[in-house]
Amino acid sequence: MKNQNTIRYPNQSFRPRRVRNNNRGIYILFTITAALVVLTIILGIATFIKSKKDLSTDEGAGTTPSSVATETDENGNIIIPNTDTSDSETTETTVDPATIPAPNQNPLLFPATVRMDVAVGTPQSAYSPSGRGTQQDIYHGQERLSSYQRESEIHMGDPLNYQSLAGILTFRGNNFRNCASWGYADIDPTKPEGEHFEKVWEFTELKFKSTPLSSSWSWVGVGWTGQALAVRWGYDMQQQMNMYPDKKSKENLTEIIIASQDGHVYFLDLDDGQKTRDPLNVGATIKGTPAVDPRGYPILYVGQGDDNGTRGEIGWRIYSLLNFELLYFQTGLDPRAHRTTWGACDSSPIIDANSDTLIYPSENGMIYTVKLNTQFNPDAGTVTVNPDTVAYRYIFDGVSGSQLGIESSIAIYDHYGWCTDNAGNLICVDLNTLTLVWSRRLDDDSDVTPVIEEENGHVYLYTGTEVDWQKDELEYQGQSFTYKIDAMTGEEVWCKTVACYTKNGTSSSDDINGGMLGNPIIGKKSIDNLVIFSYSMTKNTFYGNALVAYDKETGNEVWRYDWNTYTWSSPVDIYDEEGNPYIVVFDSQAQGHLVDGKTGVRIGLIQGLKQADYDQLTNFEAAPIVVDNMIVISQRSTAIYGIKVS
């Protein structure tokens, strides 16, 4: 709008002039008339400007929502005006901000539904520590403690809130171990079967590495569990890291982190598969899945899969992702352990952000809990840890210490943790006192990570076994056992079996086990009544696989998808925005399957995912992840693939 001073006297003819006294009446009349004319002009100009502004706002409403003023109600909720003019009465719609996930929250787990109010129960005598003749020890350094109470207590909540930055940061995503996908996938189920997958990129720089376990084969590619991590660091954090300049300056970068059996950790751009920085050289084979600090700190936790390190060490490590500085090393050849001859670590750890505590089970049978005392200074570009470790070990009557290696990862509800060992023991540990709550021996070896779900005021575990030591035969058919267990007491809710084959080698390094090696799926959205398991070698040794969906409440089989090749890789559930479910699974013969999560019917298939120079190395043992529509899956060859699913 023009300045009022310039509007009042737009030209000289409206300026007041002297008049003779005898013309005072005419002068007054003239002045009033002039004032009315000026007022009319002002109103006209104002009306014209307002109408132009309103028109401009209406035309731009669909593209410039930020220009629309927002109002909030008394509870702080955003009020969105109703723009429907079909009704003469104006109404308002209130949107609760709690219905919109934050950037660090996975939409597939939103909203938070876990109440975290289920107390531990009283296990029956057979599962109690005394009932199994349990011996427990707690170590702070070399000192054996008679009892322990954690000063900064662990209390982990709904997995939706596990992390403060977007991405998949540990095996199966969080402390419940229930999600290896992030965001929604746009899937068209009417497409022809061969058009659902598209290979977008292929990274082929993985190498071979020898092993002291055998002279007839070498480690190569990515093995079990081998899941990739996906991290959206944010632009400011990228500037602190040792990334290549073009990746450091990229907006909305999603960095993929994959640990390989060649002893390196690789860092790739999800969009194009190009390296974001040089590989991190750990120097020893890595089979399991590493973890990124969920607080958004530039820290990587990674275990070692074989005793073939360049420095003669075996255990797990903590690295700075600012510059790859080794912040801490924990040897797995721990003289305090019951299993002192093997120190590998295939578990993927969990970090409790609030208590600054790392929880890391190991194949020596120890569970390490580490007060990290983390210091991160983004201004100075430094990160440090000063670990204070309290370690826990256990053993049962009739069980040898050499059997107690833990290859599964730990799942956590509040301050209780669950994992399984090589002797088939499923254990529940109070992480604040480091005491055993209950344990039970499953019907065979189990490397599967237990998956947690809170249902109707109860906490349940879903887990299962491979076929390993049921018979003392080279090759045989046994049973893979599937369990739903009350997490707070160890009581079995239901148990199912599926017949599977196995091959027992002359040594453990030659074993090719059948049964359950992929982790189960907890159904969400429209299949929240289902839990889905994968069983390998269902038709013969090296042949056959089955995905089986069970009703969570009854354990009754709902659907089954069978095919001829086997897989150790974990299936992954993905969903579109309407909640329609799909299952992605890869197998040992270079194939990827897309299955309808409601019916078990295959709707998509990709074949021939192999390299010409290594056409026999077709096995997908590693677990995939899915970020929106992009799958990242690694092979037991020299390749990692980025595959779009649609």
- Do 329 and 398 lie in one domain? The reply is yes
CB 499 within 8 A of CB 490: no
- Do 59 and 159 lie in one domain? The reply is no
- Do 147 and 270 lie in one domain? The reply is yes
- Do 205 and 58 lie in one domain? The reply is no
Is residue 372 within a helix (H) or strand (E), and if so which, with residue range? Answer: none
- Residue 95 counted as domain residue: no
State phi, psi for 63 to the nearest 5 degrees: -115, -15
Beta-strand runs (E) in 171-211:
181-182, 197-203, 208-211
- Residue 228 counted as domain residue: yes
- Do 414 and 537 lie in one domain? The reply is yes
Give CA–CA dist 222/622, Å, rounded: 6
Omega of the bond prior to 279 within 30 degrees of 0, cis? no
**Number of residues written out for the chain:** 646
- Do 130 and 272 lie in one domain? The reply is yes
35 vs 279, which has greater pLDDT?
A: 279
- Residue 100 counted as domain residue: no
Pairing of strands 299-303, 291-292: antiparallel
- Residue 630 counted as domain residue: yes
Q: How many folded domains does the chain comprise?
A: 2
- Residue 281 counted as domain residue: yes
Which pTM was predicted? 0.85
- 218 by DSSP, 3-state: which? strand
pLDDT at 298: 98
Q: Which DSSP symbol is given to 38?
A: H
44 vs 412, which has greater pLDDT?
A: 412
Domain-ending residue, one of 20, 46, 66:
66
CATH number of the CATH domain containing 515: 2.130.10.10
pLDDT at 22: 45
- Do 31 and 170 lie in one domain? The reply is no
Q: Find the largest Cα–Cα distance for the chain.
A: 132
| DSSP string of 282-301, one letter each residue | --S---S--EE-TTS-SEEE
Give CA–CA dist 251/616, Å, rounded: 39
Of 296-305, 506-515, 603-612, the poorest mean pLDDT is in 506-515
- Do 346 and 434 lie in one domain? The reply is yes
Please provide the average confidence, as pLDDT, over all residues in the chain. 88
- Do 359 and 459 lie in one domain? The reply is yes
Kindly state the tokens that stand for 493: 């809710």
- Do 60 and 142 lie in one domain? The reply is no
Give CA–CA dist 463/233, Å, rounded: 33
pLDDT at 511: 83
CB 358 within 8 A of CB 348: no
pLDDT of 253 > 60? The answer is: yes
pLDDT tens-digit series, residues 149-190: 999 999 999 999 999 999 999 999 999 999 999 999 999 999
- Residue 635 counted as domain residue: yes
Closest to 42 (Cα-Cα) out of 89, 8, 11, 65: 8
pLDDT at 509: 66
| Domain enclosing residue 193, as ranges | 125-645
- Residue 382 counted as domain residue: yes
Of 58-72, 156-170, 504-518, the poorest mean pLDDT is in 58-72
pLDDT tier, 35 (very low <50, low <70, confident <90, very high otherwise) = low
pLDDT tier, 43 (very low <50, low <70, confident <90, very high otherwise) = low
Domain-ending residue, one of 66, 84, 106:
66
- Do 14 and 156 lie in one domain? The reply is no
pLDDT at 8: 30
pLDDT tens-digit series, residues 299-357: 999 999 999 987 789 999 999 999 999 999 999 999 999 999 999 999 999 999 999 99
C-alpha dihedral (393, 396, 398, 399), degrees to nearest 10: -30
- Residue 91 counted as domain residue: no
- Do 189 and 54 lie in one domain? The reply is no
CB 307 within 8 A of CB 318: no
Domain-ending residue, one of 38, 66, 94:
66
